[in-house]
């Protein structure tokens, strides 16, 4: 009788498993950590995609340890970053340190774990977009008019102390076109745009990135209407210069074609050779003709 007890237990377990499978219940699928981001190199957040829940309530936990350590920690904050996320505040964030992060999924049928994610906060910085984007048309005297674009760094980023250095990129497009024109602004927070189409309404955005990290999202669009006479004077002047240059070139080409090589011979006649013993005097017979072409 005792010999049949293990067989009975195995049978019951297999029966329970079969019933659960028939009801669509199974251990949870493998979760995936798809992104970790720091907005300012002082805090960071990691997000994961849950796997299949196996038809049962599934609990998720994020655990991590720092490279070189053996003690495992659990996520300090599951709420700030939104659903399926873990937020690390300043107290739990260290730069030049590698975090080894894993997400674990558990239900009544079993558990599964994600592949480990190796995170160095220095290299996952993706700042927020720049703020306070402003557009202004400038018409200085005796200079070409231009669009003056200004903005401020993201609120969370400390750029004054040099803790984080940002570079900026601007893009603009006429409202009725699909293509953006992009300009790299370096570290400055202002930029001039000279070539604009009068009468067009332009949309403008700006974004930023750190030395090590990723571009931010584009800022919200700002727009400005370019007057119809915005570059009229400048355009008229350049058209006049172009026409005048073309006329001068045509006159010169016509004169050269009309006179041919004779004009060159008249302006620059051959220089008589030196009178030295043995010099062939017959070569000087053509000299009067050259002189004659210079006289009226």
Provide CB contacts within 8 A for 213, sequence distance 6+.
38, 123, 124, 125, 126, 127
Range of the domain at 31: 23-123
Using the 3D structure, point to which of 197, 226, 255 is the last residue of a domain: 226
Using the 3D structure, point to which of 226, 252, 275 is the last residue of a domain: 226
Q: Is the pLDDT of residue 194 over 70?
A: yes
Read off the pLDDT band of 251 (50, 70, 90): confident
Per-residue pLDDT reduced to its tens digit, 28-80? 999 999 999 999 999 999 999 999 888 899 999 999 999 999 899 999 999 99
Are 164 and 115 in a shared domain? no
Integer angstrom CA distances of residue 290 from 257, 258, 260, 271, 296:
20, 19, 15, 10, 12
275 assigned to some structural domain: no
Q: What is the mean pLDDT of residues 149-155?
A: 96
**Count of domains in the chain?**
2
Report pLDDT for 6.
52
Report pLDDT for 242.
74
Q: Is the pLDDT of residue 1 over 50?
A: no
237 assigned to some structural domain: no
Q: Is the pLDDT of residue 10 over 50?
A: no
CB atoms under 10 Å from CB of 292, counted, come to: 10
CB atoms under 10 Å from CB of 114, counted, come to: 21
Using the 3D structure, point to which of 123, 151, 172 is the last residue of a domain: 123
Percentage of the chain modeled with pLDDT above 90:
56
Q: What is the mean pLDDT of residues 103-113?
A: 95
Residue 217, domain CATH: 2.60.40.10
108 assigned to some structural domain: yes
Q: Is the pLDDT of residue 100 over 90?
A: yes
Q: Is the pLDDT of residue 284 over 80?
A: no
Are 101 and 135 in a shared domain? no
Q: How does DSSP classify residue 125?
A: B
Confirm whether pTM is higher than 0.95: no
From the centroid of its chain, how far is CA 253? 49
Are 27 and 95 in a shared domain? yes
């Amino acid at each position: 009788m005792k010999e049949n007890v293990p067989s009975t237990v195995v049978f019951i377990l297999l029966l329970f498993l079969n019933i659960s499978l028939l009801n669509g219940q199974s251990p949870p699928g493998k979760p995936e950590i798809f992104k970790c981001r720091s907005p300012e190199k002082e805090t960071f957040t990691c997000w994961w995609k849950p796997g299949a829940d196996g038809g049962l309530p599934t609990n998720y936990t994020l655990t991590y340890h720092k490279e070189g350590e053996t003690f495992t920690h659990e996520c300090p904050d599951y709420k700030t970053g939104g659903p399926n996320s873990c937020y690390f505040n300043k107290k739990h964030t260290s730069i030049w340190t590698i975090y080894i992060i894993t997400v674990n999924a558990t239900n009544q049928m079993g558990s599964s774990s994600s592949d480990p994610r190796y995170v160095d906060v220095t290299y996952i910085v993706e700042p927020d977009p720049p703020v306070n984007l402003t557009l202004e048309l400038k018409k200085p005297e005796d200079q070409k008019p231009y669009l003056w674009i200004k903005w401020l760094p993201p609120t969370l980023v400390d750029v004054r102390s040099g803790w984080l250095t940002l570079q900026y990129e601007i893009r603009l497009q006429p409202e009725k076109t699909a293509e953006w024109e992009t300009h790299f602004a370096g570290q400055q927070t202002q930029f001039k745009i000279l070539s604009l189409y009068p009468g067009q309404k332009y949309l403008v955005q700006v974004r930023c990135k750190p030395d090590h990290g990723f571009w931010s999202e584009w800022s919200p669009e700002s727009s400005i209407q370019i007057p119809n006479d915005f570059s009229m004077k400048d355009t008229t002047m350049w058209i006049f210069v172009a026409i005048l240059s073309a006329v001068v070139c045509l006159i010169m080409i016509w004169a050269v074609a009309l006179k041919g090589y004779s004009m060159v011979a008249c302006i620059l006649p051959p220089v008589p050779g030196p009178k030295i013993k043995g010099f062939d005097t017959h070569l000087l017979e053509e000299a009067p003709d050259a002189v004659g072409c210079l006289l009226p």
